[in-house]
């Protein structure tokens, strides 16, 4: 009897040892890598596939040939929202590591160490363009203010890029929505940083000149941001025979004088050869300066000689002005206090505040954009090639159109805006065009011109093949306010009357990144992580029920299990008398 018991014990120990060995082997196998790639995988059961990397990100990571080291400055004790951003960042980097063994990361607390060390670290971070946010945190002893750095620094081959993990605050948008948008964009921000570090050379973004376009000082803030990842410069179309492939993208920013047929031909062939163009065009000649000091003003059209070229590409900017109830304010003198004028602020429907309404990667999670005197864009133009049109920006459902000629003044602002007159549907203001563009000069090129091109080593093309461009009906979207006397400028998108920084620069940078992104990494900007907020009213009402259920149900389950187990033991081992 004793031998049988000892034998069963030995057998049980052997089985337990085998089970532990299998578990240990599976654990080792799950963390093993072959050629830097993990052996394990996972199943994403979320509705929006939040834990599944896009194909473009996976391709990017698989092509790594050296270590990418990510230093995340989000270590420490944070409120719940930032803990979510912290854990989401770690999860994303783990997902990156599951694709490529070249990805390494660490979390660091910039506020660790002595006062001298912390100050020195903060000074260095500020030099690198990494600035903290001040966060008020409630503790046991009261409320304290902390400086938090929601940044990651990505290192690759002796180069590095700081990545801001936290989206900018937007008035009226709850903080939990801002944090949710930040989590949604983690994959894009990190993959985009790696892609930029991989680039052998910076792409060239050229601004055209010679047609009254915005001056260098007027685009200085935009170019300063672009120069972190791109080379920028100016190109005079009259001084070049053709726009070559060294120009990765062209920005045509608010021209005021007409383009010659030669310049249009150069632009057309640039597009036909795969060149990317961002058109920022004013159709109507009007601004606040033209209205100051006048009782009324009759604006006219800019003669840019581009209508036929754009029409050939499937777009037409209408000779009108779009007005919107959703607008920013301007100051008007309403009286005098002593010898000084008294100003009040009035809503000005010609200065639109546009909130993106679609989830396209260019505009997803962007804040409001400030447009000044935009025109509507006709999207119904039909071309013979296959073109896809996407409206990126549009006015609100409470819009209005004014067609030229029209008398403009400030008198209507003295009264409240009559919202019943703003009865037009949303009007397109920015349009993305993708597909095969037909040349405007198809069947119009003479033999002598073809021979001349051949002598120059050039070839005429009648179709572009897959290409893309963006048209915006407001040139001032790229213009920062300037002080010509001091040769200084304000941040792009800053409205001095509202004292608010609109997302104009983010929109233009995103547009250029989309145009130049051949690998498709920007698709990750379109990923959606849905915010499923707790119904606090229902939670408070049903608090007692759920607390009782969570306490009683485990005990009840344990009791039922014990009764069944004892019944089975008695049935199996009980002696019959």
- Choice between 571 and 31, residue whose per-residue pLDDT is larger: 571
Distance of CA 447 to the CA centre of its chain: 47
Q: Where residue 137 falls among pLDDT bands split at 50, 70, 90? A: low
Bridge partners of 236?
Answer: 209
Report pLDDT for 175.
72
CB 194 within 8 A of CB 186: no
Question: How distant, in Å, are the alpha carbons of 122, 162, 311 from that of 131?
Answer: 8, 11, 46
For residue 196, pLDDT beyond 50:
yes
Rounded Cα distance, 106 and 69, in Å = 8
Which contiguous run of DSSP H or E holds residue 252? Answer: strand 249-253
Report pLDDT for 362.
92
Exposed e or buried b per residue across 446-471, where buried means at least 16 C-beta atoms within 10 angstroms of its C-beta:
eeeeeeebeeeeeebbeebeebbbbb
SS3 string, 229-242, reads CCEEEEEEHHHCCC
Report pLDDT for 140.
52
Domains of the chain (ranges; CATH) run 33-196 (3.40.30), 203-526 (3.40.50)
Report pLDDT for 419.
80
For residue 309, pLDDT beyond 90:
yes
List the beta strands (DSSP E) in 445-567: 463-472, 482-483, 488-489, 494-495, 500-501
Task: Tell me the H-state helices in 106-260.
Answer: 115-127, 175-184, 186-198, 220-226
Report pLDDT for 36.
45
What are the percentages of helix, strand and coil residues in the chain, rounded to 5? Answer: 35, 25, 40
Report pLDDT for 5.
56
Q: Which of 303, 251, 299, 241 is nearest to 275 (CA)?
A: 251
- Choice between 121 and 80, residue whose per-residue pLDDT is larger: 121
Distance of CA 454 to the CA centre of its chain: 43
Question: How distant, in Å, are the alpha carbons of 79, 115, 127, 188 from that of 130?
Answer: 21, 19, 7, 19
pLDDT tens-digit profile of 487-516? Answer: 889 999 999 999 899 999 999 999 999 999
pTM of the model: 0.78
Tokens of 389: 């049109």
CB 288 within 8 A of CB 409: no
Average pLDDT over residues 389-397: 95
pLDDT tens-digit profile of 239-288? Answer: 999 998 899 999 999 999 999 999 999 999 999 999 999 999 999 998 88
For residue 396, pLDDT beyond 80:
yes
Straight-line distance from the first to the last Cα atom of the chain, in angstroms, rounded to the nearest whole number: 23
Q: Which of 155, 147, 119, 154 is nearest to 131 (CA)?
A: 147
Question: How distant, in Å, are the alpha carbons of 461, 502, 505, 509, 510 from that of 226?
Answer: 31, 17, 10, 7, 11
DSSP state of 439: P
For residue 62, pLDDT beyond 50:
yes
Q: Where residue 388 falls among pLDDT bands split at 50, 70, 90? A: very high
For residue 527, pLDDT beyond 70:
no
pLDDT tens-digit profile of 331-366? Answer: 887 776 667 777 788 899 999 999 998 888 899 878
- Choice between 564 and 520, residue whose per-residue pLDDT is larger: 564
Tokens of 50: 């939040």
Distance of CA 86 to the CA centre of its chain: 20
CB 232 within 8 A of CB 205: yes
pLDDT tens-digit profile of 138-171? Answer: 655 556 677 788 889 999 988 888 988 887 776 6
Mean pLDDT of the chain: 84
Q: Which residue has the tokens 């989401």?
A: 88
| Listed ranges 38-42, 147-151, 462-466, 538-542; the one with the highest mean pLDDT | 462-466
């Amino acid at each position: 009897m004793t031998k049988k018991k000892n034998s069963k014990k030995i057998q049980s120990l052997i089985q337990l040892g085998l089970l532990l060995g299998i578990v240990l082997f599976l654990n080792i196998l799950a963390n093993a890598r072959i050629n830097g790639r993990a052996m394990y995988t996972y199943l994403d059961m979320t509705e929006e596939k939040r834990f599944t990397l896009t194909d473009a990100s996976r391709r990017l990571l698989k092509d790594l040939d050296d270590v990418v080291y990510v230093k995340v400055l989000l270590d420490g004790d944070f409120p719940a929202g930032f803990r979510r951003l912290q854990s989401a960042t770690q999860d994303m980097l783990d997902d990156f590591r599951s694709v490529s063994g070249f990805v390494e990361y660490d979390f660091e607390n910039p506020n660790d160490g002595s006062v001298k060390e912390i100050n020195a670290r903060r000074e260095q971070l500020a030099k690198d363009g990494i600035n903290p946010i001040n966060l008020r945190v409630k503790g046991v002893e009261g409320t304290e203010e902390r400086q938090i750095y929601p940044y990651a620094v990505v290192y690759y081959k002796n180069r590095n890029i700081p990545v801001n993990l936290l989206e900018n605050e937007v008035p009226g948008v709850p903080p939990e929505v801002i944090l949710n948008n930040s989590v949604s964009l983690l994959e894009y921000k990190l993959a985009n940083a790696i892609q930029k570090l991989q680039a052998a050379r910076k792409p060239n973004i050229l601004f055209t000149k010679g047609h009254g376009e915005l001056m260098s000082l007027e685009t200085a803030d935009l170019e300063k941001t672009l120069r972190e990842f791109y080379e920028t410069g100016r190109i005079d179309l009259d001084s070049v025979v053709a726009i070559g492939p060294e120009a990765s993208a062209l920005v045509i920013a608010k021209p005021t004088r007409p383009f010659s047929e030669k310049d249009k031909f150069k632009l057309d062939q640039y597009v036909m050869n795969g060149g990317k163009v961002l058109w920022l065009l004013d159709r109507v000649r009007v601004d606040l300066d033209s209205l100051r000091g006048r009782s009324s003003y009759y604006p006219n059209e800019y003669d840019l000689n581009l209508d036929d070229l754009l029409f050939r590409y499937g777009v037409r900017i209408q000779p009108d002005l779009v007005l919107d109830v959703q607008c920013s304010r301007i100051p008007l003198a309403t009286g005098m206090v002593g010898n000084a004028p008294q100003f009040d602020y009035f809503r000005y429907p010609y200065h639109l505040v546009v909130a993106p309404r679609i989830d396209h990667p260019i505009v997803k999670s962007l804040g409001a954009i400030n447009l000044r005197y935009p025109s509507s864009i006709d999207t119904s133009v039909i071309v013979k090639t296959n073109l896809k049109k996407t409206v990126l920006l549009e006015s609100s459902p409470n819009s209005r159109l004014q067609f030229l000629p029209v008398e403009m003044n400030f008198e209507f602002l003295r009264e409240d805006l009559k919202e019943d007159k703003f009865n037009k549907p949303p009007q397109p203001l920015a349009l993305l065009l993708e597909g095969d563009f037909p040349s405007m000069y198809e069947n119009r090129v003479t033999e002598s011109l073809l021979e001349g091109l051949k002598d120059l080593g050039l070839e005429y093309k009648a179709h572009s093949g897959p290409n893309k461009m963006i048209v915006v009906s407001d040139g001032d979207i790229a213009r920062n306010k300037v002080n010509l006397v001091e040769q200084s400028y304000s941040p792009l998108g800053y409205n001095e009357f509202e004292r608010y920084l609109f997302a104009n620069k983010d929109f233009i940078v995103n547009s250029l990144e989309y145009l130049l992104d051949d690998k498709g990494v920007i698709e990750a900007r379109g990923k959606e992580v849905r915010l499923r907020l707790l119904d606090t009213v229902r939670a408070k009402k049903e608090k007692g029920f759920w607390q009782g259920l969570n306490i009683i149900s485990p005990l009840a389950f344990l009791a039922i299990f014990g009764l069944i187990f004892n019944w089975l033991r008695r049935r199996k081992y009980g002696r019959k008398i």
